[in-house]
Chains A and B, each alone.
Chain A
Amino acid sequence: MSTAQTPLHKVRGMGSSHSGTGHFWHERVTAVALIPLSLWFLYVMLGLAGTSEVTALQFLAHPWNALLMGAFVCFSLWHAYLGLQVVVDDYAHAAGAKISLMLLIRFSVIATGATCLFAIVRIAAL
């Protein structure tokens, strides 16, 4: 059967949607990672509630805690980015609004993540 598709296009098998199940899959992978990380985050927030900045500094300066907080921030923001993309896809119909919103969300997520990671490194270096 003759076809207009190039072999590469056929192999990728994504058709006119331009993307496959990548979005769905990454949303699930980050969700699974966030199950233990969210429980750990809740344990930390409860444990630090009503304490002093010295306690928080000492806790977050510990390498394992700094790493876990960094992982929580990265997976949360990655998951948030994918989720907000679905909201924009569903409610913003004009191409211009869609692209503008997605750029705004992408930049905000990167800025928030960079700020968190910088603060975590700064706490560890204090």
Chain B
Amino acid sequence: MAETPQRPVAHARPLSPHMTIYRWPVTMMTSITHRATGTGLSIGAVILAWWLVCISNGPEGWQSFHAIWDTPLGLLLLFGLTWSLVYHFLNGVRHLAWDMGYGFDKRDAERNSVIIFALSILGALAIFAAVWTGHAGYLQ
């Protein structure tokens, strides 16, 4: 932390180069992505509220939701949210495993990071593929 707000810094002290100079390990990427997807999903909760309110408003509400979200930009955002949910779910399970003491070995942690990135992308693609190939809508 370069600055403490409680105590104004009299002289700018030299800092060792940190964030910008080192290669990003993949475990750092998964950690930051977990936080970013979690923040994104918090915004997704607002869209869930929007969807539920629209359903409670009957046919016009349903139409109004689809008019905004069933568009290229809307679907792109929904794909991002879908991937975020799959990623945060998988990496969340890994967090729970860490809490129990598993998966801390450096090689395991790096391999699992790559697996989680790959699985989350495949999972999100599979979910959208299921919709587009007519495998969704089974609750009708």
Contact = CB atoms under 8 A, between A and B. Distances in A.
B139 A55 contact: yes
Per DSSP, chain A at the interface is helix
Contacts of A44: 139
A124 to B, nearest CB: 9
A73 to B, nearest CB: 7
Contacts of B53: 115, 119
Interface in B89-140: 89, 92-93, 95-96, 99, 127, 130-131, 135-140
B139 A126 contact: no
A51 B139 contact: yes
Contact of B58 (A51, A53, A80): A53
A123 B135 CA distance: 26
A18 interface: no
A76 B137 contact: no
Contacts, number: 104
B137 A53 contact: no
A115 B3 CA distance: 40
Contacts of A31: 92, 95-96
Interface residues of A, number: 42
B1 interface: yes
A102 interface: no
B76 interface: no
Contact of B131 (A32, A46, A56): A46
A56 to B, nearest CB: 5
Interface in A51-109: 51-53, 55-57, 59-60, 69, 73, 76-77, 80, 83-84, 86-87, 93-95, 108
B99 A28 contact: yes
Interface of A: 28, 31-32, 34-35, 38, 42, 44, 46-53, 55-57, 59-60, 69, 73, 76-77, 80, 83-84, 86-87, 93-95, 108, 112, 115-116, 119-120, 122-123, 126
Interface residues of B, number: 38
B24 to A, nearest CB: 18
Contacts of B131: 46, 49-50
Contact of A84 (B5, B6, B42): B42
B38 A80 contact: yes
A58 B130 CA distance: 23
B137 A49 contact: yes
18 contacts: A31-B92, A34-B92, A42-B127, A46-B130, A49-B131, A51-B137, A53-B55, A55-B139, A55-B140, A83-B38, A93-B4, A95-B5, A108-B46, A112-B46, A116-B49, A122-B56, A123-B52, A123-B56
